[in-house]
Structure 1
């Protein structure tokens, strides 16, 4: 796997990967990113600020196999939000999630963030395993949560 920063040409491919994953986990429901207005235009969001980034994961033939995002979190000082870690089915089971997590954590440190927050759902047990193995700690649901169907919330201090 190698990676690059998101480009507009990636938007629809990435939206399909995300929706496919959510549907496979019975999360194609209101209150998830599945119905976010900007899902088909993620590059607009991630390229609009130097405090954000989205890494596109590519296979050896330069096919998009997933990605991971990072953005400022408005309701916790010095905190970034890890966003939209998704892989194609063919890319799963190869340890790529861990590599993407390392990549986004380094990007967060480089941008001056002190901690990373994320939201997930109990249906995403594989993701929860990855997050916990990477040192993310379960926290109470913040009042400011936008995706109302999410039911697990994590925070990790960065060093």
Structure 2
């Protein structure tokens, strides 16, 4: 993955991004009063190779002036048919309100559809008001079955399959 959005570069995660990506996620979580859980919900950020790359998922970082300012990722899950979960969509406050989150979500959905997945699941917390608004505006439907302790909402979106 390599895409530009204005001055921002979205690219595949590299080993050297581990600390910066974790710092972005930890910062945004703390901004909303949520805890960083390196041994729980955030273990995947510290083990990207195992949790994303080895399972058929992807983990991306967003750079601005060579600094990591955001993340986005997905991996296959056992919910429904041909399903993935979008995870770790976080953007630092300095880069919000520019349409970057919408663009990132669109790029993730495009990559997911291109790989033949049919369902996208997202778990989030009500306090992440901007995220909730974004998902609902992009056709994500409320669902049940939250699996992450700090989350209280789960959404699903069914992708249209190309007609053959």
Which TM-score tier does this pair reach, normalised by the shorter chain? 0.7 to 0.9
Structure 1 residue 43, shift from structure 2 partner: 4.2
* 1:21 aligned residue: 28
Q: Aligned pairs, how many?
A: 153
TM-score normalised according to structure 1 size: 0.87
The alpha carbon displacement at 1:29 in A equals 6.6
Q: Is the 8 A contact 2:41 2:148 kept in 1?
A: no
More strand by share: 2
Decide whether aligned partners of structure 1 residues 115 and 37 sit closer, same or farther in structure 2, where only a CA change above 3 A counts: closer
**Which structure carries more relative contact order (alpha carbon 8 Å, separation 6+)?**
1
Cα 1:80–1:38 change in 2 (3 A) is closer
Residue 151 of structure 1 corresponds to 152
CA RMSD of superposed structures (Å)? 2.0
Extract unaligned runs of 5+ from structure 2. 1-7
The one of 53, 61, 64 equivalent to 1:56 is 61
In structure 2, what is the equivalent of residue 67 of structure 1? 71
Instruction: Determine whether 1:107 maps to 2:111.
Output: yes
Report the more deviating stretch, 69-78 or 32-41.
32-41
Q: TM-score, normalised by structure 2?
A: 0.84
